[in-house]
Chains A and B, each alone.
Chain A
Amino acid sequence: DQQVKQNSPSLSVQEGRISILNCDYTNSMFDYFLWYKKYPAEGPTFLISISSIKDKNEDGRFTVFLNKSAKHLSLHIVPSQPGDSAVYFCAARGERNYGQNFVFGPGTRLSVLP
């Protein structure tokens, strides 16, 4: 059973517009969440994180929103740039080995069109 879900396998956005990537989780014990970006044949790059004590965290063009009651988080990229085209993974801290394990979602491929 998939504990972290990213229901949109792909998303296309026009350059300059907002990209919204969604992530849902089922485990109420998750309390720390990360977003990673991955280019083909490269390792993931950390983007932004949020802990369950917050509902929003902002870093430059990237903002993550957390809705604990809905077990939902989203990553907003504003404005979107062609270089943002990549696969984005949502990850949540697992309940075992607290502070170490992360469970990854399947990823969403973002394409930013010039």
Chain B
Amino acid sequence: GAVVSQHPSRVICKSGTSVKIECRSLDFQATTMFWYRQFPKQSLMLMATSNEGSKATYEQGVEKDKFLINHASLTLSTLTVTSAHPEDSSFYICSARGWTGDGYTFGSGTRLTVV
């Protein structure tokens, strides 16, 4: 089945530093990947849609200069949280359309803690 690998699973960084999260589709080509954020006890919130070879489409209220998304190949999309602050601490999840076409395959998520 379709597998999406997300790395790292957990990261702690200092305030003001940048953190990069990788999302890879292991056995299929993902022309489109999605980045979500989940606050504690809340639902998944779509942050941006990432298309291979073009600029990401950000949802309203998401700062594109703070959350840099790069989708350089059909199997890799990265999310970089720049100049991280404690309020950026959250659970970030990527997803890609599964090869079955039905539903989406999610990565395992990244728990970011900014101290």
| CB <8 Å contact, B49 and A97 | yes
| CB <8 Å contact, B106 and A43 | yes
| CB <8 Å contact, A44 and B32 | no
| CB <8 Å contact, A49 and B46 | no
Query: How many A-B pairs fall under 8 Å by CB?
Result: 49
| CB <8 Å contact, B49 and A101 | yes
| CB <8 Å contact, B111 and A43 | no
**Complex CA distance for A97 and B6, rounded to whole angstroms:** 24
Partner of A100, one of B42, B49, B93: B49
Q: A97-B49, A97-B57, A106-B43 are in contact. Are A49 and B109 (CB under 8 A)?
A: no
Chain A: interface size category: 10 to 19
| CB <8 Å contact, A46 and B43 | no
| CB <8 Å contact, A105 and B6 | no
| CB <8 Å contact, A106 and B49 | no
List 11 A-B pairs, Cβ < 8 Å.
A36-B106, A42-B109, A44-B95, A45-B106, A46-B103, A46-B105, A46-B106, A100-B34, A101-B49, A102-B104, A106-B43
